[in-house]
Amino acid sequence: MQATPTSKLLDWYDAHRRALPWRALPGAVANPYHVWLSEIMLQQTTVATVIGYFEKFIDIWPTVHDLAAAEDDAVMTAWAGLGYYARARNLLKCARLIVDQHAGHFPDTEDALRALPGVGPYTAAAIAAIAFNQPAAPVDGNIERVLSRLAADTTPLPKLKARIKAYNASLVPAERPGDFAQAMMDLGSSLCTPKRPACGDCPWQADCAAHASGVAETLPRKAPKREKPERRGTVYWLENKAGDVWMARRPEKGLLGGMYMFPSQGWDPANDAPLDTLAPGTWTPLSGEVVHVFTHFRLTLTVEAHTWPHDDPPPIEGRWVAPHDFANVALPSVMVKVAKHVLS
């Protein structure tokens, strides 16, 4: 039988598949809890970063039942550093729903998976294909890149997405759809990289229209980017006489929901802390700035410091935390940067 792009890719995968801690061994059945957990972590985070977090979570919470029974704070703390904290909140919500409403079993269809908290179209397709061998065709940025090159499709993103989705669906084999999805992911991350794709080692070298015409590196085309808006704010570093620092917990909903932060003002009006009114004229501006880039804006923070002279805590909600305990608090990356800036 003549080799097709699909069969060539599967042969290449059998010889070169990446060993990843959430991946089943060849011929073995995948663990849906592992697949789901890894796919949620991999949303907006690289494989290299996710490996350590995945192993930590599986170590602490080996089953979905264990995770469902976890304390919210323990999960948020274990997640700290992965970013996009709504994912951690949805992770817990989803684990509890799987235990309460599905007797601890993940549903096996794309549609039912999409109804779960934190599971969008890509994640649902990836779990359906990898965990349940359903003929689903997940499409992410890597797969858009690989397939836009295979077809030399110069349609710019985001218009390209619908075309790639249909193209991908046409390639998915009736047997081994899970391996096909993982093979596409591996090809995109190891050979068909954004810069300098390794076409000489690629199983699709003879089929790839972009390689044949020498335009691979220019694909996929993108619509011109808009600049991110700028925001500025002030962080209040309030210490007590023992050197502990005041932290407030943000509301569950909204940006960085449920995370601990040093009180701040000016950049997120819903969470402004009126700390500057507590001791007017006594805050000392520290030199330098902290810059953090969120998905939708770029934030520049200055820091003002003050030592709280009273034994009673300040009249705003929060708690004192010693700097050596910062690592045990669910502190978002932007506030880890602030702490480093102040303490360095």
- What residues are labeled active site? 39
Q: Figure out which of the listed residues 124, 130, 150, 334 binds ligand SF4, where binding follows CB under 6 A.
A: 150
Residue 13 binds ligand SF4, judged by CB under 6 A: no
Nearer to ligand SF4, 149 or 165 (CB): 149
Nearest approach in angstroms of CB 75 to ligand SF4 is: 38
Gap between the Cα atoms of 261 and 335, Å rounded: 6
Evaluate the omega torsion of the peptide bond into residue 62 and state whether it is cis, within 30 degrees of 0.
Answer: no
Cα gap 265→301, rounded to integer Å: 9
* Smallest separation, CB 216 to ligand SF4 (Å): 4
Binding part of the chain for ligand SF4, among 192-200, 224-232, 248-256, 301-309 by CB under 6 A, reads 192-200
Contact assessment for residue 284 and residue 216, using Cβ atoms and an 8 Å cutoff: no
Q: Does 208 bind ligand SF4 (CB under 6 A)?
A: yes
The verdict on 184 binding ligand SF4 (CB under 6 A) reads no
Centre a 10 Å sphere on the Cβ of residue 211 and count the other Cβ atoms it contains: 20
308-319 per-residue burial string, b: 16 or more CB within 10 A, e: under 16: beeeeebeeebe
Select from 37, 128, 130, 202 the one that contacts ligand SF4 (CB under 6 A): 202
Q: Is the CB of 54 or the CB of 204 nearer to ligand SF4?
A: 204
CB nearer to ligand SF4: pick between 202 and 335: 202
Decide: is 146 part of the binding site for ligand SF4 (CB under 6 A): yes
Does residue 211 touch ligand SF4 according to CB under 6 A? Answer: yes
Q: Is 199 in the site for ligand SF4 (CB under 6 A)?
A: yes
Question: Minimum CB separation from ligand SF4 for residue 128, in Å?
Answer: 25
Report in angstroms how near the CB of residue 177 gets to ligand SF4 at its nearest: 20
Q: Which is nearer to ligand SF4, 149 or 306 (CB)?
A: 149
Of residues 192, 235, 303, 342, which one binds ligand SF4 by CB under 6 A? 192
197 binds ligand SF4 (CB under 6 A): yes
Distance CA 170, CA 321 (A): 55
Of 119, 108, 102, nearest to 68 by C-alpha is 102
Contact indicator for 164, 140 with CB cutoff of 8 Å: no
User: Interacting stretch for ligand SF4, rule CB under 6 A, among 197-205, 254-262, 265-273, 303-311?
Assistant: 197-205
What single-letter amino acid sits at 189?
S
In terms of CB distance, is 194 or 251 closer to ligand SF4? 194
* Shortest distance in whole angstroms from residue 210 CB to ligand SF4: 5
Q: Residue 216 interacts with ligand SF4 (CB under 6 A)?
A: yes
| Binding span for ligand SF4 by CB under 6 A among 135-143, 195-203, 263-271, 300-308 | 195-203
Contact track, ligand SF4, 94-113, x by CB under 6 A: --------------------
Binding of residue 205 to ligand SF4 (CB under 6 A) = yes
Residue 215 as a binder of ligand SF4 (CB under 6 A): the answer is no
The residue ranges that bind ligand SF4 (CB under 6 A) are 146, 149-150, 191-192, 197-199, 202, 204-205, 208, 210-211, 216
